[in-house]
């Protein structure tokens, strides 16, 4: 019997309103762990090329991991897995707060949602019991209001994950928001729109069940021992949050500026940094449940221009994508913009990308003044920024188009706009520039969910984190090429495990190395994994997601970077002349992955990972042939 799991998955069919439970098979838990890994396996079996991401046949999976809700620090996270309406391929997104651990305490490792409710609905899970309720009165409301109302009608101590108007209206950049005005978000890949397509407004959870752990003594001793040094090492995250590194990012040429065109924005970066926030609008720090670092920001102000804001403050990604990337340096405007994104239920990364894209299209005459309805989309204009977020959230006018994401928006606008729609596989780039960290160039190109820094987080090994247990005794040269394929492979496999366990990746900033994670997993579950088993499991999960995408028709041709990132020199700053040599990086990567030159796992690799069953479609598709062509 494995510890760490409650061994119950809730199955919800919204079309029929029927619910049931199943115990996840133990061999699946050992092979795919939980969280992202187990979710990927379920999604792989339950969906495919014929699945419309916004159709009732898509599955929306909420998953915790074995560490969720245990005494492992930074472990109150959950993962949402579904076929993405933004990218059309494998999608996943994770979030912190307290919702993940509350779900587990309420008696479920995860929830599998199929179908489409005939009218707005929410799911109420209370101490092992699940119930579908009408959400007629919630439809159209913003995420913060929803939380207040449903807590009133369920339990004041309940935790809510829900969508705002953007998700209801199927914006492909819509997020799922949890923990209300603390603004935690499973934001990437547009999974809020999947929830909206199912007419599911919220999932409300309440539970007090204790999570059984195989060796709680060893776990607690280790956590107690490590906690001070974790906090000490991650002190800057505590003090200044994720945007504490803003000026450093700018200095290194890592910060996206003016839709990824410029290399330097010194004064601006200072103005929107975590340090400036701490001196001005910061009202407190937010700790996800069980966290000892507290990187979350709380802000409070009442400005003549933007009104009152009191709640979650903006993260680095938000400040960079809505701020520097749009040349907006007004911190209050950005805090307001962040607040609006949380309320409408929007991914701040994709939203910032879409607005920067629109500003460039406007400058180039591809979006007319008429379409902006009087608020000129000029660079650095905070009023235009805020106005456009309202429009995206409500899906009005130009906002409708931008809510489709930059790939679709550029295809509609046409012409040169395709050249400055900065995405990979349809997912907008997050706020780390591949020209500053070559490993991220490779990561963005190959990441299973499209352009993503979190699926490898490899740039931290090129900046300030040394991973001795992987044989990296120094910081890697960020503009170096040698060994980068291997670095990204290792980092991705590790991230697959962290997304499956689930534990916050920021624990790496606290000096925790992978062998420690293996110990924690073993102590929680009673497994006896070696570091090698652990990393092999991560590799299995990574390859499974790749197989999902290959089945959707992806191959090496899709492992690309936007032309601007490949060929446009930023001209100034810490990465003024650097361009990531993608071909070389990919060649290393495929070799290191054991994939063929087309990005398909070789038969030996499939066998080594025990994915023969999942990969059997590769043989079938060989025999398939479009006969209409001859």
Which positions lie near its own copies, rule CB under 8 A? 364-368, 371, 397-398, 400-401, 409, 412-416, 418-420, 553, 555-557, 563-564, 566-569, 579-584, 586-587, 590, 597-598, 600, 621-626, 628-630
Please state the closest distance from residue 96 (CB atom) to its own copies, in A.
36
Q: How far apart are CA 599 and CA 433, in angstroms?
A: 24
- Locate the DSSP E strands across 96-163: 110-114, 121-126, 129-134, 159-162
Please state the closest distance from residue 278 (CB atom) to its own copies, in A.
37
Q: How far apart are CA 425 and CA 87, in angstroms?
A: 6
Integer-rounded Cα Rg, in Å, for the chain is 23
Please state the closest distance from residue 434 (CB atom) to its own copies, in A.
10
Which residues are CB-contacts of 471 (< 8 A; sequence separation ≥ 6)?
Answer: none
Q: How crowded is residue 363: how many other Cβ atoms within 10 Å of its Cβ?
A: 15
For residue 555, give both structure tokens.
């191959």
Q: How far apart are CA 304 and CA 336, in angstroms?
A: 12
- Can you tell me whether residue 376 is helix, strand or coil? coil
Q: Which is nearer to its own copies, 293 or 547 (CB)?
A: 547
Q: How crowded is residue 212: how many other Cβ atoms within 10 Å of its Cβ?
A: 17
Cα atoms found within 13 Å of the Cα of residue 118, Cβ hemisphere only = 4
Closest by Cα among 123, 47, 135, 122 to 85: 47
Q: Which is nearer to its own copies, 536 or 564 (CB)?
A: 564
Please state the closest distance from residue 406 (CB atom) to its own copies, in A.
13
For residue 74, give both structure tokens.
């930074």
DSSP 207-235: --PPPP-TTHHHHHHHHHHHHHHHHHHTH
Q: Which is nearer to its own copies, 474 or 628 (CB)?
A: 628
Please state the closest distance from residue 412 (CB atom) to its own copies, in A.
3
Please state the closest distance from residue 84 (CB atom) to its own copies, in A.
21
Q: Which is nearer to its own copies, 212 or 591 (CB)?
A: 591
Please state the closest distance from residue 39 (CB atom) to its own copies, in A.
27
Q: Which is nearer to its own copies, 424 or 535 (CB)?
A: 424
Q: How crowded is residue 347: how many other Cβ atoms within 10 Å of its Cβ?
A: 34
Q: Which is nearer to its own copies, 119 or 625 (CB)?
A: 625
CA distances 221 to 71, 217, 218, 520, Å, are 10, 6, 5, 11
Q: Which is nearer to its own copies, 342 or 575 (CB)?
A: 575
Q: How far apart are CA 95 and CA 78, in angstroms?
A: 6
Q: How far apart are CA 166 and CA 328, in angstroms?
A: 23
Q: Which is nearer to its own copies, 346 or 367 (CB)?
A: 367
Q: How far apart are CA 228 and CA 293, in angstroms?
A: 10
The answer to whether 601 and 543 have CB atoms below 8 angstroms apart is yes
Q: Which is nearer to its own copies, 576 or 607 (CB)?
A: 576
Please state the closest distance from residue 493 (CB atom) to its own copies, in A.
21
Please state the closest distance from residue 88 (CB atom) to its own copies, in A.
16
Q: Which is nearer to its own copies, 286 or 362 (CB)?
A: 362
Please state the closest distance from residue 193 (CB atom) to its own copies, in A.
19
């Amino acid at each position: 019997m494995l510890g760490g799991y409650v061994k119950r998955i809730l199955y919800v069919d919204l079309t029929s309103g029927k619910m049931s439970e199943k115990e996840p098979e133990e061999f699946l838990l050992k092979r795919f762990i939980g969280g992202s890994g187990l979710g990927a396996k379920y999604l792989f079996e339950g969906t495919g090329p014929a699945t419309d991401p916004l159709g009732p046949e898509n599955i929306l999976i909420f998953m915790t991991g074995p560490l969720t809700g245990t005494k492992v620090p930074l472990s109150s996270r959950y993962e949402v897995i579904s076929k993405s309406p933004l990218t059309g391929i494998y999608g996943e997104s994770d979030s912190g707060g307290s919702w993940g651990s509350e779900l587990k305490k309420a008696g479920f490792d995860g929830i599998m949602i199929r179908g489409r409710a005939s009218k707005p609905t929410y799911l109420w899970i209370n101490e092992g019991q699940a119930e579908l309720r009408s959400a007629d009165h919630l439809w159209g409301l913003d995420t913060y209001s929803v939380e207040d109302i449903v807590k009133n009608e369920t339990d004041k101590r309940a935790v809510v994950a829900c969508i705002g108007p953007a998700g209801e209206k199927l914006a492909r950049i819509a997020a799922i928001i949890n923990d209300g005005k603390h603004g935690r978000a499973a934001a990437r890949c547009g999974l809020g729109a999947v929830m909206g397509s199912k007419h599911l407004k919220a999932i409300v959870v309440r539970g007090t069940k204790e999570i059984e752990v195989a060796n709680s003594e060893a776990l607690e001793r280790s956590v107690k021992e490590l906690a001070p040094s974790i906090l000490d090492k991650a002190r800057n995250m505590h003090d200044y949050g994720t945007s504490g590194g803003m000026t450093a990012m700018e200095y290194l040429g890592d910060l996206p500026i003016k839709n990824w065109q410029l290399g330097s924005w010194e004064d601006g970066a200072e103005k929107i940094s975590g340090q400036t926030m701490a001196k001005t609008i910061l009202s407190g720090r937010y700790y996800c449940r069980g966290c000892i670092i507290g990187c979350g920001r709380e802000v409070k102000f009442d400005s003549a221009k933007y009104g009152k804001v009191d709640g979650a403050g903006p993260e680095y990604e938000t400040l960079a994508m809505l701020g520097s990337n749009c040349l907006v340096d007004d911190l209050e405007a950005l805090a307001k913009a962040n607040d609006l994104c949380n309320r409408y239920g929007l991914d701040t990364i994709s939203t910032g990308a879409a607005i920067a894209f629109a500003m460039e299209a406007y400058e180039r005459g591809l979006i007319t003044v008429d379409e902006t309805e009087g608020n000129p989309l000029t660079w650095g204009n905070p009023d235009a920024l805020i106005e456009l977020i309202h429009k995206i959230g409500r899906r009005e006018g130009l906002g409708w188009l931008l809510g489709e994401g930059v790939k679709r928006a550029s295809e509609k606008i046409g012409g040169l706009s395709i050249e400055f729609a900065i995405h990979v596989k349809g997912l907008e780039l997050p706020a780390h520039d591949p020209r500053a960290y070559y490993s991220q160039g490779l990561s963005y190109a190959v990441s299973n969910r499209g352009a993503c820094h979190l699926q490898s987080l490899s740039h931290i090994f090129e900046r300030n984190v040394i991973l001795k247990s992987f044989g990296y005794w120094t910081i890697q040269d960020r503009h170096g090429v040698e060994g980068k394929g291997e670095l990204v492979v290792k980092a991705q496999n590790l991230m697959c495990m962290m997304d499956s366990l689930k534990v916050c990746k920021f624990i790496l900033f606290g000096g925790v190395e992978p062998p420690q994670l293996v110990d924690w997993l073993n102590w929680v579950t009673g497994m006896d994994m070696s570091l090698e088993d652990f990393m092999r499991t991560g590799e299995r999960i990574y390859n499974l997601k790749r197989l999902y995408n290959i089945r959707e028709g992806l191959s090496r041709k899709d492992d690309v970077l936007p032309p601007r990132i490949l060929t446009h020199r930023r001209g100034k700053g810490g990465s003024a002349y650097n361009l990531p040599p993608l071909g070389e990086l990919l060649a290393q990567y495929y070799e290191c992955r054991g994939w063929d030159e087309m990005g398909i796992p070789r038969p030996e690799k499939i066998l080594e990972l025990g994915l023969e069953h999942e990969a059997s479609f590769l043989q079938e598709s060989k025999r398939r042939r479009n006969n209409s062509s001859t």
